[in-house]
Structure 1
């Protein structure tokens, strides 16, 4: 029988950490004499108590390292628990959302999706906007840990390929996790600090710079303004595009650079591919806008660079009126949103790595058809991709596309129009944050979606963040009988 006590112990500890984190926005509001601080403090105390009780109840089951099955359960239980308790401030404090909307906002924040159901962010208490940014930041940090520590072990969607680069933690999860986690934490905090100071220098307030920096590096997209980066036109958009790009790169490469390997980042095949594809996408949108609008060339380039980078990296910030740029621009956006950022970052969707290998497999198959007697191996960055990795990757990509189709159809059954449903699932499963369609246009949020549709989006956000297969495996009876 699967022993869940080690899982409960870890989840309980992290719920305690979340409760302690809530004290920060509570203190901010109380310092500003905003009564909302007491509501957030109440949520923090309840979260602390719940996490402490679970931790104490499971402490006698901790025996060392987690095994593979426990790691699968941990990834799901962790995001579920943090999403639930992260919703508490939205339930108890401003804007006092209902259960569905509060959970939607929390899941969107912790999965770094960036979709929202809140209108009137500019008038929200400072502590609540800070909490939204903190949820993005904490979620992005946790995602990086999971991606680098557990997913290669789980052999999810081709991620085991990275075990050949020294990321193998099989049999030594906890010792290796400590080393990797410390390196990632240093990089993550450093990037956030530099980003925040840059925003401050460009004229943002302390609150705006802090929240936007946390959301940028986490590729989360929660902004303290309804207009998102439309509130800061100009240099801040260029800075935002740069830091969103950096946040979508493999964090472990930054750690390697700090530890004496200055070329580690550029030698990563994902970085080179992401740079090329982003340049192509921005160029296509810029040319389209120059032909179809009378805006100045600099504004066209700036808004295209910012918005396409935001969608490609799965951040969710926006500026200008990107949703009204026409069908071609949205087709480009849909395509790059399906790809996402690099594996080993907080970005979602398929990831550059998986798409690169998929393209390599297609090329290899075409060559095989042209020369049937020729043995053509699929190679990535000079190395052969083994069959088990290839099979896992194809299964992941197929599951991803089918899931978008199935969930989109289900959403239309809730009364949502086809376009809003397709982009709603696309943005949720890819943890992208952008909304598009008749239901989103009036407010720029998902507040007008039916409750059933919001629950489908909640499920999609969690599935996308947990790499699909890590969720699917939990519904197999064999997993629980093993």
Structure 2
């Protein structure tokens, strides 16, 4: 194991996070908030540590092989989370390091769960830092899903490998052309979302924060009311459109824009099918509880459904008050997630499409044992490696959800909260169901031990599970 190949980029990562702290420091300085010193000193200390680490391991660029890459992404998420928690801990919030770490992990993994209340009165630096963490985490998730995870064969990350026109398992062959296109698209979506939010009446500061947390499908807001603070319905439809765009494969968007042609994609079709079905279901039950115009009720139903299925986590109202049927719908939606290669978390629609095709082929063979029926995706046969990876991922996904649920129940959380907390962390959704961690609650009242387990589970979910569990296998550490 070449640890130098891991330490060097970690040092550069610390330099990056120290530079990012300049922005909230400036915001607090203009607002005459003393926390600007916290961000400035934190940035100087972390930047110095990053420079020293980089200098200590400088020299000829070491090669990064598969094992080093896996260890690096695990170390990077934890290192960035620890570093990002520093300003939270030393700021005027007066929170424990456990809460600071939980909030940072939730931001970087674009989960959106929070332990903070009174956001309306927070200084701009803290609110901006939360938004920046999610925005950086969102683009990191895309790069992780397209460049590293294909080697794990967990399914979904090999979407482009199923296309007959592709000669390589990585887009564009080299990383530089793709990174340029990715940054351009990510920045364009963020700026467009910001501009439309401004046209809908948001202040410039609110528009900046919510544009970053919408495109990253993170869900952090500037108010305890989340999107409930904004009047009118136009802002909800803008958020809905950009949440959906950000949960579509970014590689698909890049290629479609370059070719000026939007081809059919099965997983996108599945996403819109579930959004439509769930929205109509929520709207049906909502109209018996809420006395409002049909358009406003339908808007809130679509917004809340899209927010959950894309794992963004915004809330327009407490949709859990609509009855047990609606609670069941939203609980099920937390398992699905968006598309592979997007900022969204969850099980991912690509895997859902492949599993449904696999089940269909099995049922056909049961009826006619000698019939050749193989799982297919958009007309292409799914290879055994991809199918095997998806099945393994499904088992680990279910097992991880169940194991952490048991842990939370052992920590004396009730069954509803334990199950909801586990899946919302693993799928990186944000709010759960129930009175404690639902859309109108926070994770503040949970035991500190539970918050550490939730933070670990959020990172495991963002690493697509297998990348994290590989570290637990003895073979990984053997040369």
Q: Secondary structure at the match of 1:79?
A: helix
Q: Secondary structure at the match of 1:96?
A: coil
The offset of 1:169, in angstroms, is: 6.7
Measure, in 1, the Cα distance between the counterparts of 2:398 and 2:60. Answer: 39
> Taking structure 1 as the reference length, what is the TM-score of the superposition?
0.95
Selected match of 2:344 from 323, 342, 347: 347
The offset of 1:117, in angstroms, is: 0.2
Q: Counterpart in 1 of 2:320?
A: 323
Measure, in 2, the Cα distance between the counterparts of 1:390 and 1:162. Answer: 15
Cα pair 2:156 2:340 within 8 Å, conserved: no
Q: Secondary structure at the match of 1:87?
A: helix
Measure, in 2, the Cα distance between the counterparts of 1:376 and 1:255. Answer: 33
Selected match of 2:301 from 285, 299, 304: 304
Cα pair 2:318 2:439 within 8 Å, conserved: no
Selected match of 1:476 from 447, 464, 473: 473
Distance 1:242 1:441, change over 3 A: closer
Distance 1:245 1:479, change over 3 A: same
Distance 1:292 1:33, change over 3 A: closer
The offset of 1:89, in angstroms, is: 1.2
Selected match of 1:133 from 115, 131, 134: 131
* 1:453 paired to 2:450: yes
The offset of 1:142, in angstroms, is: 0.7
Measure, in 1, the Cα distance between the counterparts of 2:23 and 2:17. Answer: 10
Measure, in 1, the Cα distance between the counterparts of 2:236 and 2:257. Answer: 27
Query: What does the per-residue CA deviation read over 1:314-373, in whole Å, with 9 as the maximum and x for residues that have no partner?
Result: 001101111222211121112222110000001111100011101111111111111111
Distance 1:168 1:321, change over 3 A: farther
Query: What does the per-residue CA deviation read over 1:271-321, in whole Å, with 9 as the maximum and x for residues that have no partner?
Result: 222112211111111112124443331221111111100000000110111
Q: Secondary structure at the match of 2:21?
A: helix
**Alignment length (residue pairs):** 477
Selected match of 1:435 from 432, 437, 442: 432
Query: What does the per-residue CA deviation read over 1:101-127, in whole Å, with 9 as the maximum and x for residues that have no partner?
Result: 000000000000000000011111001
Output aligned runs, 1:198-209, within 5 Å: 198-209=196-207
The offset of 1:417, in angstroms, is: 1.0
Query: What does the per-residue CA deviation read over 1:22-76, in whole Å, with 9 as the maximum and x for residues that have no partner?
Result: 1101011112211111111111112211222222222236234x21111111211
Cα pair 2:134 2:213 within 8 Å, conserved: yes
Q: Secondary structure at the match of 2:424?
A: helix
Q: Counterpart in 1 of 2:160?
A: 162
Q: Counterpart in 1 of 2:208?
A: 210
Task: State which drifts further: 249-258 or 52-61.
Answer: 52-61
Measure, in 1, the Cα distance between the counterparts of 2:167 and 2:187. Answer: 24
Q: Secondary structure at the match of 1:225?
A: coil
> Taking structure 2 as the reference length, what is the TM-score of the superposition?
0.96
Task: State which drifts further: 148-157 or 191-200.
Answer: 148-157
Output aligned runs, 1:27-426, within 5 Å: 27-60=26-59, 62-64=61-63, 66-165=64-163, 176-233=174-231, 234-259=233-258, 261-264=259-262, 266-426=263-423
Distance 1:111 1:442, change over 3 A: closer
RMSD across aligned positions (CA): 1.8
Distance 1:442 1:376, change over 3 A: closer
Query: What does the per-residue CA deviation read over 1:184-206, in whole Å, with 9 as the maximum and x for residues that have no partner?
Result: 11000000000001111111111
List gaps (5 residues or longer) in structure 1. none
Measure, in 2, the Cα distance between the counterparts of 1:366 and 1:409. Answer: 33
Cα pair 2:172 2:178 within 8 Å, conserved: no
Cα pair 2:246 2:343 within 8 Å, conserved: yes
Measure, in 1, the Cα distance between the counterparts of 2:15 and 2:241. Answer: 34
The offset of 1:175, in angstroms, is: 6.9
Measure, in 1, the Cα distance between the counterparts of 2:375 and 2:398. Answer: 22
Cα pair 1:72 1:154 within 8 Å, conserved: no
Distance 1:160 1:226, change over 3 A: same
Measure, in 2, the Cα distance between the counterparts of 1:230 and 1:293. Answer: 15
List gaps (5 residues or longer) in structure 2. none
Measure, in 1, the Cα distance between the counterparts of 2:166 and 2:2. Answer: 26
Cα pair 1:273 1:352 within 8 Å, conserved: yes
Cα pair 1:158 1:392 within 8 Å, conserved: no
Query: What does the per-residue CA deviation read over 1:156-200, in whole Å, with 9 as the maximum and x for residues that have no partner?
Result: 345234334477877x89972222211111000000000001111
Measure, in 1, the Cα distance between the counterparts of 2:283 and 2:272. Answer: 16
Cα pair 2:156 2:348 within 8 Å, conserved: no
Cα pair 1:154 1:160 within 8 Å, conserved: no
